[in-house]
Amino acid sequence: MNNLLKQMIGASRLNVETYEQVEADPGSTAGAVFVVVVASIAAAIGAGARDVISLIGATVVLLLTWMVWVTLTYMIGTRLLPEPQTRADIGEVVRTTGFSAAPGRRRDSR
Report the sign of the C-alpha dihedral through residues 44, 49, 55, 58, in that order: negative
Q: Which residue has the higher pLDDT, 105 or 23?
A: 23
Backbone phi, psi, residue 81, to 5°: -130, 45
The whole-chain average pLDDT of the chain stands at: 91
pLDDT exceeds cutoff 90 at 108: no
Q: Which residue has the higher pLDDT, 108 or 91?
A: 91
User: pLDDT value at position 103?
Assistant: 77
How far does CA 52 lie from the centroid of its chain? Answer: 23
Quickly state the pLDDT bin for 65 (edges 50, 70, 90). Answer: very high
- How much of the chain, in percent, has pLDDT values that exceed 90? 86
User: pLDDT value at position 109?
Assistant: 43
Q: Where are the alpha helices (DSSP H) in 13-101?
A: 16-24, 29-46, 52-75, 90-99
Q: What is the rounded CA–CA span in Å between residue 45 and residue 50? A: 7
Specify the amino acid at residue 89: D
Q: What is the rounded CA–CA span in Å between residue 44 and residue 46? A: 5
